[in-house]
Chain A
Amino acid sequence: MWNRRREEEQTPKPISAPPTSSELAKEGIPMSTLPGRSSESHHDAPRGGNAVVGKSVIVKGQIFSREDLTIDGEVEGTVELQEHRLTVGPNGKVMASVKAREIVVLGTIHGNVETTDKLDIRKDAKLVGDIKTARIVIEDGAYFKGNIDIVKAEAPKSAAAPKPQPVASATEAPKPAAAAPKPQPVASATAANPSISPVSSALAAGAGDAKR
């Protein structure tokens, strides 16, 4: 009996079983099918160091990222990139409330959107939800339904000021703070271990399910 249990523990899990967030952090499972290609199509998406949720990936849960993120798959839940840029690619479908420094939408977002810097809604993009942003660009051909609230950007702090902690010191404090698990442990793990893939560091802090 004891041996059997040990055997069960050693048996690899079936592929269809969704990995837990800790597994994602430990193993660095790539979430992107084609991480390089996705950024090629967005001429102003940064190359390298950009986490990607590929177009065949579905994520249900919370995404926290401390680097730029491109979503070309489906995400349901919440997405938070404190000081970074989110790009929703042409195939991206985000059914979530989204917070980031800057957001570029080429696909679809259903949910409220908050940026501390700029929101860019490109041609053929679709955004249904309320927007809070410092600046907004809407291209002809984009569909938008919702409220636009332009929030004046905070005055830049002096260079001598201590660098704020990543989570607690977002430019705009997240509203339902209780609901959001703090990503500090993973963030520090990422910093300490650069070998962890960008995507795993982006997702590890709270992704619920990830399906392929």
Chain B
Amino acid sequence: MPSVSALETRHSHGLDQFCASLEQRSGLSILDLAGASQATVSFVTGYGHRLYSDDFLHQLDQGFGDGDFYENQSSPSRVAKFLDAVLSFPDENFDGVLVWDALQFLSPPLLQTVVARLHRVLRPGSCLLAVFHAEERVETIPTYFFRVSDHQTIQLAPRGRRRPSQFFNNRNLEKLFQDFQSVKFFLTRDHLREVIVRR
């Protein structure tokens, strides 16, 4: 794990928008797929919300990491097991989902399935925050543990580099989230495209 000094801190408009929907009432259920961290737990529960935490990338590695990562994602049995482990929630169970950078490492068919599941588990009107790398001329992209410091500050703890399944532009993303009510983009100076999607 990275030391505290290795943490990067950055301002996030996307998070700011996401948190705006949390401040209106308490007792909401939030799904965080970045892996549990003290900062995020304290932040979310500080509002009086419940937090469901899981490490999506860790689960991806568990499910598809042995052998060809993307080839394995086409195995129906592996996909079923993975979805069961990560996204088996009742419909409309959450009032917000923090997906962070995880969707970039899903092959297109699995990506569609996961986004459809996320749509199902979100309550109407609630938000999803995802992050996509915007620089296309690279083979691998950095991945992070994302932690929420406050309503507009994220701490990023490096967790190595990975080859993304595909790169996304605004049009791709609109198509990916076409079943959602709205999609909003924030392009940051460090080649990250933050996306806020409203169910």
Residues of chain A whose beta carbon lies under 8 Å from any beta carbon of chain B: 121, 123, 136-150
Contact B38 A137 (CB under 8 A): yes
Contacts of B35 in A (CB 8 A): 143-144
Q: Kindly state whether residue B37 has any CB partner on chain A within 8 Å.
A: yes
A154 to B175, CA, bound (A): 49
Q: Which of B1, B36, B58, B157 has the most CB of A within 10 A?
A: B36
Instruction: Closest B residue to A127 by CB, please name it.
Output: B36
Closest chain B residue, CB of each to CB of A148: B51
Q: Is the interface of A mostly helix, strand, loop or mixed?
A: strand
Q: Per-position contact with A for B168-198: 1 when CB-CB < 8 Å, else 0? A: 0000000000000000000000000000000
* Size class of the B contact interface (CB-based, 8 Å): 10 to 19
B36 in contact with A144 (CB, 8 Å): yes
A149 to B45, CA, bound (A): 8
Q: Which residues of B contact A (CB under 8 A)?
A: 1-2, 35-38, 41, 45, 50-55, 58, 157
Note all chain A residues with C-beta closer than 8 A to B1: 123, 140-141
Q: Specify which of A123, A142, A149, A150 is in contact with B36 (CB 8 Å cutoff).
A: A142
State in angstroms the CA–CA spacing of A142 and B40 once bound together: 14
Query: Per a CB cutoff under 8 Å, which of B37, B38, B53, B157 touches A146?
Result: B53
Q: How far is the CA of A143 from the CA of B45 in the complex (A)?
A: 18
CB nearest neighbor in B for A144: B36
Contact indicator B55/A145 (Cβ below 8 Å):
yes
Q: Which of B38, B50, B58, B157 contacts A147 (CB 8 A)?
A: B50
